[in-house]
Structure 1
Amino acid sequence: MAGPMDSVGRAAKSNMLLIVECGHCYHVGRFRANDVAQVVGWNKPLEAIRFRCKRCSRKDTTVRTQFIDQDRPLKGYIWTLQKFKV
């Protein structure tokens, strides 16, 4: 067991997904915790991350974690961090 996930870094070390759900339109997005940690910082608490909904542009979101099962393919899309060339 990985223990309580209180920061993005701890979820990234456990190879988890962050499931973000909009409280207004219930749109769901899935992000790899490692990608999110690279953007917001490794010590950022999960409650402090503010996502903006892609559909309704509100910031009323909840974040929960989910283990990635290596034996089963994931359903749905996972948004990944894009590397830009300079």
Structure 2
Amino acid sequence: MTRRKKTRSLADKVSIRTGRRKDYKQWRHANPDQTGPSKRFAAKKQKQRQQQAQKRLQRQQSAPNIAIHPSDNGGEKH
């Protein structure tokens, strides 16, 4: 008994596939709900993005404020 190779490809998960790209295209068109990423994967990525945004916001708030254009001098000096 041989084991099937793990794959991320949706083409291998289709049971009606005959080895032709056209058949897979037709199946994908007929079953749009099964072709996207899994709900668990999408939820995981959304959580990661939220955590990344929180960390970024914390870094921005904790960073020192740097005066790039100090307004204390009266005019431009060359």
- Output the TM-score relative to the length of structure 1: 0.20
More strand per residue: 1 or 2? 1
- Whose Rg is larger? 2
Q: Which has the higher contact order (CA 8 A, sep 6+)?
A: 1
Query: How high is the TM-score relative to the length of structure 2?
Result: 0.22
